[in-house]
Structure 1
Amino acid sequence: MDKGKSGVTTRQRRGAVSLLLAMVLLGVFPLDVVLPSFPALAEHFRSTPADIALSISLFAVGIAFAQLLIGPLSDVIGRKGLLLAGMSVSMLGALGCVMTTDYSLFLMFRVVQALGCGCFVLSQALVQDLFEGKERDRLRILMVTAGGIFISVSPLVGTFLQATLGWRGSFWVFIALSAVVLLKAWLFLENSRPTTRGTRTNFLTVYRRVLGDFDFVGYWLISAFAFACHFSFIVISPLIFMDRLQLSAYEFSLILLIYGAAYVTGGILASVLSRRISSGQQMVVGLSLILFAGVTMLYLSSSFALAPATVLIPMLICTAGTTIARPAATSRAMSLFPDNAGTSASAGSTIIFICGGLISALISLSPANLQSTLGYAFVLLSGVALALNNRISRRAKVLQTGAIAQPSGD
């Protein structure tokens, strides 16, 4: 079959897949790969690592603000132009970071880079535009799996770039990868609007429409809670492995490499399950694995002394569950408003961003045992997500029953 959804050729779909994976990879560099360069950045700008950490916070705020506008705007003018513009702006911001010697200007250029990187939110909208059915679900599984692997490898990559190219290395590589994405987007995306109706609706009206839908918000919360379990571990893992267990940066990088293997395993399981069971059942399986991981972590924390294995074993289970649950929930959410895929992606990404950030912050600031706190969080989040999924399923059955009964009553 040479053409799929909207006349997309096989060559275009292959190009789109490589483009989407490159966008996933690019999302790692501005945040994760630069972390090993904090001391060097602090020395260069005659500042402290805590001050450099401010650039991460500003970057996150910049992305959050940009994606709220980029998603709805892409429903009006199309994806390609915004993606090209965003990549260009992010490259200029990264180049400014490399060239400046003033810390205030560095922060300003980081915000510029973040505003450009807000276009990464279009990846979910592009999946919705270019693919359909099982192919769409499999691609979302691949993207989640690849994202986890990239995040797991990023500390090792950052350490290598810092040792060979200095702190500027991650920015130069980001610029090079952005150029590749720019070229791929130019070659493989068509300069057309994704929808033909309802595109002139006010941004706030569209946001009220999608965020007022219980099922839409529910599915994104399920995806967000699953993501928060993974993200919380990433945030507190340096505190556990480097601060409490006194592992070196290199040993810590190797630990995360093992953690990345769970994404591969989870991706394989998710691909197999997507062919055999419904997306609702996939969410139940994935969330149940996260719940089991939380119970396992609580047991290990109470029965054994803190060790890499007592943390890593339940995290491998949790990550496999996350990789199964998130793509299924995202596909369900994105299918509800296909004419507003950009707005839907922006709203969902914001929900994920808020949940992941707040939950990870609460866990990292907890005065109690971090391992136990993480275990309790897994149990609570997966339990709430399972309840949400059950509520949505029951609502769907009620609505379906009503729809069937309605004609007979006329």
Structure 2
Amino acid sequence: MTISSAPPPRQRAVWLDRTTPPKVLTLVLIAGLGALSMNVFLPSLPSMAAYYNADYAVVQLAVSAYLGATALVQLVIGPLSDRYGRRPVMLGAVAIFSFATLGCIFSPSIEMFLVFRMIQSVVAAGIVLSRAIVRDMVPADKAASMIGYVTMGMSLVPMVSPMIGGVLDQWLGWKATFFFMLAFGLAVGWLVWNDLGESNDQRSDSFGAQFRAYPELVRSRRFWGYTLVASFASGSFFAFLGGGPYVATVVLGMNPAELGLYFGFIALGYMIGNYVSGRFSEAFGLNAMMFYGSAVAMLGLIAGITLFLLGFAHPISLFGSILFVGLGNGMTLPNANAGIVSVRPHLAGSASGLGGAMMIGGGAGLAALTGMLLTPERGVWPLLLMMLASSIAAIAMAGYVIHVARKVSAEAAG
């Protein structure tokens, strides 16, 4: 089924030429900055709780509340970029992120730290805009493959950054991870300034018009289907972000450096899944790849639950199953995101922002709920069961999208 026509022919991308579309590496890094901000400090959560003399549930708001703020930011970033262009919005986001990172480093209290942490969420612009820019540059049937390759490269960041964060925390303390975050942000800002040419040739007439266009998206069954697949598939990952550090340190007795190393499992799986998506999405189609990816994630979690039931309470029992969650999400999310931004091509930025807000908002709720349910007595079960439920819901929604697509095709044929 053809979702949209191709965009008009574009200039060839020239490296470090801000008058042409950006290179793929630039898209990887602007999206990677958001991933870095979400992941690099995760091994330091217990250290931060000790530093501020705060409960883990409060410090964990740096994950769950940050995700909630990210959801709100994405509602605005998409329409802003549709109205004013991708380039100025991305430049402004990086500047605000850098300021907020300095605030996190020098915050005297956990409350002040969390305020600046929420401001950091503006960096979600990189994730939203990388998808919208891809849709500006290529037609829908190639967008999933290109998004897959972009996110494959981006997934190196969350694979490596927790390892770096764990080592920095062990050697220099948790603030070192935020200095590293600041340096990465400044480097990406330089690259955006020099390579990110404007790709939005169809800007809207007014900012308010973009918000008034949201009902057009909301009325689309395909938009809801793709968004819910993305939300539930990523929900298992966000639940892990909220509860994984606690389970690893309190239940399995891992130190920050070990935790950072094992966190690479989910990113490694995600990178492999992104490659599979980039390689096979055009051949198999968006909908089939979403279904297969969700099934892989579910089967991985069932395997992990089985190992714990058999008494194998080892980090590999947890993180081995997490690798398959990453693999499944790497297959599912590029295709779901390509579907989201292709339902209404003239609203690609708004669709990316609204879909991303729903996805991240749901993830924030799952991360917070998982964190609240975890206790030493309950062990790994709240985390694994929450992730499994989210993966099963993703399969159900992928089946719904396939059903809607078949029904629309049958109606068109009739």
Q: Normalized against structure 2, the TM-score is what?
A: 0.83
Q: Secondary structure at the match of 1:11?
A: coil
Identify if the C-alpha distance between structure 1 residues 237 and 147 changes in structure 2 by more than 3 Å, giving closer, same or farther: farther
What is the CA distance between 1:280 and its match in structure 2?
Answer: 1.4
Alpha-carbon contact 1:266-1:323 (below 8 Å) kept: yes
Residue 308 (structure 2) aligns with: 301
CA distance in 2 between counterparts of 1:39 and 1:285 reads 36
Within the candidate set 324, 328, 332, 1:317 is matched to 324
Match of 2:398 among 389, 392, 403: 389
Aligned pairs (5 A) from 1:18-37: 18-37=25-44
What is the CA-CA distance between 1:149 and the residue it aligns to?
A: 3.8
Choose 1 or 2 for highest CA Rg: 1
Residue identity in the other structure for 1:265:
I
Between the aligned partners of 1:162 and 1:227, the Cα distance in structure 2 is 27
- What per-residue deviation string (whole Å, max 9, x for no partner) do you get for residues 312-368 of structure 1? 333222321111111111111211111111111111111111221222333444468
Q: More displaced, 385-394 or 337-346?
A: 385-394
Correspondence for 1:11 among 3, 11, 14 = 14
- The equivalent of 2:220 in structure 1 is 213
> Which residues of structure 2 form unaligned runs of 5+?
1-6
Aligned partners of 2:266 and 2:394: how far apart in 1? Answer: 23
Residue pair 2:296, 2:325 contacting (<8 A) in 1 also: yes
- Of 397, 401, 404, the match for 2:410: 401
Residue type of the partner of 1:339?
H
Say whether residues 1:90 and 2:90 are aligned partners: no
Alignment match of 2:348 (pick from 341, 349, 353): 341
* Equivalent residue in structure 2 for 1:48, among 34, 51, 54: 54
Indicate the RMSD between aligned Cα atoms, in angstroms.
Answer: 3.2
Q: What letter is aligned with 1:91?
A: S
- The residue identity in structure 2 corresponding to 1:183 is W
Q: Distance in 2 between matches of 1:222 and 1:37?
A: 31
The one-letter code matched in structure 2 to 1:381 is: S
Greater CA drift, 102-111 or 157-166: 102-111
Amino acid at match of 1:246: G
Q: Equivalent residue for 1:161?
A: 168
Contact 2:38 2:63 in 1 (8 A): yes
Maintained 8 Å contact 1:128/1:136? yes
Query: CA separation of 1:178/1:291 partners in 2, compared to 1, >3 Å: closer, same or farther?
Result: closer
- Contact 2:60–2:242, Cα closer than 8 Å, also in 1: no
Q: Could you say which residue in structure 2 is the equivalent of 1:327?
A: 334
Give CA deviations for 1:117-160 in whole Å, capped at 9, x if unaligned: 54542222112112335553233223433444432333321133
Q: What displacement does 1:215 show?
A: 1.2
When residues 289 and 109 of structure 1 are mapped into structure 2, their CA distance, relative to the original with a 3 A threshold, is closer
Mapped to 1, the partners of 2:198 and 2:21 lie a distance apart of 18
User: The residue matched to 2:194 in structure 1 has which SS?
Assistant: helix
The 3-state SS of whatever aligns with 1:195 is: coil
- SS across alignment from 2:14: helix
Is 1:179 the counterpart of 2:186? The answer is yes
Which of the numbers 282, 287, 291 marks the counterpart of 2:294?
287
CA contact (8 A) 1:85 1:116 kept: no
Q: Which blocks of at least 5 consecutive residues in structure 1 are unaligned?
A: 406-410
Matched, 1:256 2:269: no
Retained in 1: the 8 A contact 2:142–2:282? Answer: no
Larger relative contact order (CA 8 Å, sep ≥ 6):
2
Q: CA offsets, 1:192-219, max 9 Å, x none?
A: 6441556565343222221232210111
TM-score (norm 1): 0.84
User: Is the CA contact (8 Å cut-off) linking 2:67 and 2:364 kept in structure 1?
Assistant: no
Q: 2-side partners of 1:210 and 1:150: how far apart? A: 32
Sequence identity (%): 22
Post-superposition Cα deviations, 1:353-393, rounded to whole Å, max 9, x if no partner, equal 12212223334444685544455445533333333223333
Q: Contact (CA 8 Å) 1:290, 1:378: kept in 2 or not?
A: no
AA of the residue aligned to 1:8? Q
* Contact 1:364–1:370 (CA under 8 A) maintained in structure 2: no
Q: 1:245/1:193 Cα in 2 relative to 1: closer, same or farther (>3 Å)? A: closer
- 2:4 corresponds to which residue? none
